[in-house]
Amino acid sequence: MALRFYIFPVLKALLLHALVIGVFFFNWERDADSEVHSAPRIVQAKVLTMADPIAARKEAERKKEAARKKATAKQKREARKKAEAKKKTAAKNNIAAIKKADAKKTAEAKKKADKKRQAAEQLRAEKQRADKKRQDKAAAKERQQALAREQERREQQRLLVLADKLAKQQAEAEAVAVQSYKSLIQQRVKESWHIPLSARDGMTAVLRVNLLPTGEVVNVAIVKGSGDDAFDRSVVQAVQRVEKIEELQQLETRVFDANFRQFNFLFKPLDLD
């Protein structure tokens, strides 16, 4: 390996020496020719120095080392550039991976949020449908109840009207019956009355009569006399002679109590003459 470093300097030195010797002989021949034909010229000689092989080797080694260091530095720079480029690429890839992961997470989160929102919307829609169904059912029930109440009110109104009509009819019938029984009592009293000599047309007497539900006379009293004692006594005696009106047993207790248990009886005979 060391021998290779000596070959180039030695060849260089031999070549340089050969060149110098050749130049020397060439100049010497020309000088010899000049001596024949012209006056001699003074030749200025130059001193040639031989290169030092060791120094040349060291210089070569230094240059080689410098070249190696330069190459090493270049390799280091290139390696550093590559490393930086690789680092940048890795950083870009890392950023891209992070962005991709973030995008994936965002997409998953959005998907979950969409599913949650859709589920909430579906639940809300179902609740609204259930509420509407319940409201419709309640409204239908309320309508049915209102219709039933209206029908009941109308029925009650109809029954009230009917009851009022029946009450009026019954009252009319009772009034007719009461009047009929009073006429009957009036007729019976007149039939049992013995006309006193003092009786005159236009005389009247009002008596309070008490009867039992069987129609039996239990008490008779003058409420308003005619002014003639004989006439008044004759009327009282006529009622007492009737004793009992059996037809009154046909009346309801309510009607009897309201009209005949105790009542004022107007006795007004006509055509006494």
Q: With CA atoms as reference, report the closest residue to 273 among 178, 176, 199.
A: 199
CA–CA gap between residue 169 and residue 163 (Å, rounded): 9
Token pair, residue 265, equals 């009886």
CA–CA gap between residue 10 and residue 231 (Å, rounded): 202
Reported as a pLDDT band with limits 50, 70 and 90, residue 272 is low
Residue 206, SS3? strand
Listed in sequence order, the residues at least 6 apart from 226 whose beta carbon sits closer than 8 Å to its beta carbon are: 203, 204, 205, 232
Instruction: Give one DSSP letter per residue of 158-201, joined into a string.
Output: HHHHHHHHHHHHHHHHHHHHHHHHHHHHHHHHHHH----TT--T
DSSP label at residue 38: S
Q: What is the pTM of this model?
A: 0.45
Over residues 136-192, the pLDDT tens digits come to 898 889 999 989 899 999 999 999 999 888 888 888 988 999 999 999 999 999 999
Listed in sequence order, the residues at least 6 apart from 100 whose beta carbon sits closer than 8 Å to its beta carbon are: none
Over residues 99-150, the pLDDT tens digits come to 776 768 856 868 887 788 888 888 888 888 988 989 989 888 999 998 989 9
Sketch out the chain's domains with CATH numbers: 2-80 (no CATH), 193-267 (3.30.1150.10)
Over residues 46-61, the pLDDT tens digits come to 555 566 788 888 888 8
Between 272 and 215, name the one with better pLDDT: 215
Reported as a pLDDT band with limits 50, 70 and 90, residue 23 is low
pLDDT given at position 18: 78
CB 205 within 8 A of CB 224: yes
| 4 pLDDT higher than 50 | yes
